[in-house]
Amino acid sequence: MVIFRASYQFHKMNNTKIAGLGFYVPEKIITNHDLEKLMDTSDDWIVERTGIKERRYVDRKTETTAILARKAAERAIADAGIEATDIDFIVFATLSPDYYFPGSGVLLQRELGIAEKGVPAIDVRNQCSGFIYGLSVADQFIKSGMYKNILLVGAEAHSLGLDFTTRGRDVSVIFGDGAGAVILQPESNPKKGILTTHLHADGRFAEKLAMLSPGAHAGIHGNGEKYGITGDEEFETVIVNEKMLEDALLFPYMNGKYVFKFAIQKFPEVIMEALKTTGYNPTDVNLVIPHQANLRISQYVQKILRLRDDQMFNNIQKYGNTTAASIPIALSEARDEGKVKKGDLICLAAFGSGFTWGSALIRW
């Protein structure tokens, strides 16, 4: 009798660790008083409703989203003690890409001088939740053993596409430019690194916080008339047209109150989801780093979860809402200030356009 012995090769699943991080914000500081000169707004209104005092804007002659990303990435690469050529995968989260297509991931790859290596690059289009979505994607690739040095970046150059008249004041005063980057590597200790990630979306609210044009929707989701699209002309260009330009419909739109209401519900919910999954309580967390949407939102979340001041990190006062960049900027800055230490339990959470939301729990 011949006995066949099957040979199974088990792949030991690693955790993912943040091996390096860095951020870059443009040098140009724009205060609330600077915005007062452009539109009917006030420092008092902005500070009271959002907590923001100033934000950074790119140098229009030298900086784009991909270039901000490269500056942050260079710092993260140095922090991890690796070379750009060691990177085997790029994940780029942004809502303000350099081009409609291709994504900014390939531009970052070129900027880093590693294009000849053919390193793959994907763009993540999940707005304020982009970094958490990107982190979860990267985590799966590390766990599966496919990649060993992933560069994940969140970057935005909002100031190149905002309406700086009174018409756009509810949106324009909130957003700022910047980039944050992390290097992700395998972590063999199962109690360290990314312990869990949680992603959610609800497309019923897609148009509550959105930039609908330019876009290939042809008015089909119910916005045709407003955007001057009838669908009657077979070869009419609908991605962008003169009416959109004339009526200033190429700017982001936000129903602020609606977004706010959901945000203060979903942030605590998704943070608790990460804690419950891993058997922790809010008191166990050393630092919660929320997407910097609005200081009032963070304060609500802190109150609902009964977190102490030292458990909550906010830097929106200095940078405004930098969307996909806000969490990696905040994480970098918190680490640099000594607020993220070895062994700490760190919770990241985001909510925003889509609607999309998510969380990640990390043992540092």
Give the interface with ligand UT7 as residue ranges (CB under 6 A).
Answer: 41, 45, 49-50, 128, 169-170, 173, 209, 256-257, 259-260, 263, 293-294, 297, 321, 352
For the bound state, the minimum distance from the C-beta of residue 175 to ligand UT7, rounded and expressed in Å, comes to 8
- Residue 361 is inside which H or E element, if any? strand 356-363
Q: Would you tell me how many other CB atoms lie within 10 Å of the CB of residue 186?
A: 18
CA angle 309, 337, 308 (to 5 degrees): 10
Does residue 135 contact residue 54 with C-beta atoms inside 8 Å? no
For the bound state, the minimum distance from the C-beta of residue 106 to ligand UT7, rounded and expressed in Å, comes to 26
- Which is it for strands 121-124 and 89-93: parallel, antiparallel or unpaired? parallel
Under DSSP, the state recorded for 205 is G
Q: What is the CA radius of gyration of the chain?
A: 21
Instruction: Compute the distance between CA of residue 258 and CA of residue 353 in angstroms, rounded to an integer.
Output: 11
Q: Which residues pair with 179 in a beta bridge?
A: 24, 155
Under DSSP, the state recorded for 286 is S
Q: Which residues contact 140 (CB under 8 A, 6 or more apart)?
A: none
For the bound state, the minimum distance from the C-beta of residue 45 to ligand UT7, rounded and expressed in Å, comes to 4
CB nearer to ligand UT7: pick between 260 and 364? 260
Enumerate the active-site residues.
Answer: 128, 291, 321
CB nearer to ligand UT7: pick between 136 and 323? 323
The two three-digit tokens of residue 322, written as one number = 């930098």
For the bound state, the minimum distance from the C-beta of residue 256 to ligand UT7, rounded and expressed in Å, comes to 3
CB nearer to ligand UT7: pick between 136 and 294? 294
DSSP notation for 68-98: HHHHHHHHHHHHHT--GGG--EEEEE-SS-S
For the bound state, the minimum distance from the C-beta of residue 331 to ligand UT7, rounded and expressed in Å, comes to 17
